[in-house]
Amino acid sequence: MARRVSKRAWEGYTRRLEAQRAAAYDDAYEWVVRNVPSRGRLDMKRLRLMMVEAANHHGKSTAALAATWFDQMARAEGADAMKAVPVNDTAKTRVKRMAICSNKALPKLEAGDVEGFARAIASAVAADVKRQATNTVMLNAQKNGAEYAWIPGGAETCAFCIALAANGWQPAAKATAMGEHADHIHDNCECEFAIRFNESTEYGAYDAQKYADIYGDADGRSSQDKINSIRRELYAENRDKINEQHRERYAAMNGGG
Ligand SMILES: [Zn+2]
């Protein structure tokens, strides 16, 4: 009999992942707002240390959550799978990535855009945390012959995520470069990899056809053109809402410090 993963079970899992990602974002954001001196230079070494520590700390929790969920899925489907191993990049890789991200964000700070700088730093940390969950799911799925799908979630879904979701279920063994997804996802991405061991298993939270239709109907011939045209539509819908949220957040931080 086909198994169905309820929307509620899926959202329970993704909400817990999201809470960790959001906590990492908040930690980093607050640190920047509190530590950027009104005169003089920010100590970039301290900044990077904070980024690595926040990403490690919250990333470990997300990787453990993802591994536990993987094991639960395998058990529920009667799959002959090895116990999932949480995946973390080496410290060296993380230090390097955070150095690149902080250098890239630096012009914002130099231009006096503390808020923009804080957002870029926090996003880099949050993306790293998310990567640890997605890599855990993907690498264990590859080892155990599972299929994966990218299920959009949260209030904002980016065009790239819609294009991924439109692919439907794929054998994990065929997935190419790791981190490919994590590198493209938007700042507040709450989409996650779902897995299944049996082709008949369905997710209540995933309507693959809906995303295939959005993608199929989008203007453009190449996938990049299609992603761009979906992005333009989404951007027009969300622009005002997002700007307002960012302003409120910054005002609350500054007033509440
Ligand atoms: Zn997304």
Spacing, Cα 46 to ligand 1 middle (Å): 30
Residue 146, pLDDT > 80, answer yes
Among 40-44, 136-140, 154-158, 182-186, the least confident range:
182-186
For the chain, give every domain's residue range. Answer: 4-256
User: pLDDT band at residue 140, thresholds of 50, 70 and 90?
Assistant: very high
> Per mean pLDDT, which of 122-126, 169-173, 185-189 is the most reliable?
122-126
pLDDT of residue 257: 42
Give me the chain's average pLDDT, please.
89
Residue 201, pLDDT > 80, answer yes
Residue 100's alpha-carbon distances to 18, 46, 47, 97, in angstroms, are 24, 15, 12, 5
Mean pLDDT of 104-131: 95
Mean pLDDT of 142-151: 93
Spacing, Cα 192 to ligand 1 middle (Å): 8
Residue 54, pLDDT > 90, answer yes
Residue 85, pLDDT > 50, answer yes
* Six-digit token string for 16: 């817990």
Of residues 170 and 156, more confidence is placed in 170
Among 51-65, 185-199, 241-255, the least confident range:
241-255
Chain mean position to CA 236 = 22
Spacing, Cα 159 to ligand 1 middle (Å): 8
User: pLDDT band at residue 63, thresholds of 50, 70 and 90?
Assistant: very high
**Which of 193, 187, 127 is closest to 165 using CA atoms?**
193
What pLDDT, in 10s, does the model give residues 240-253? 777 777 778 778 87
Spacing, Cα 134 to ligand 1 middle (Å): 12
What pLDDT, in 10s, does the model give residues 172-185? 887 764 445 555 66
Task: Say which residues have a Cβ less than 8 Å from residue 64's Cβ, sequence separation at least 6.
Answer: 86
Spacing, Cα 206 to ligand 1 middle (Å): 13
Spacing, Cα 45 to ligand 1 middle (Å): 31
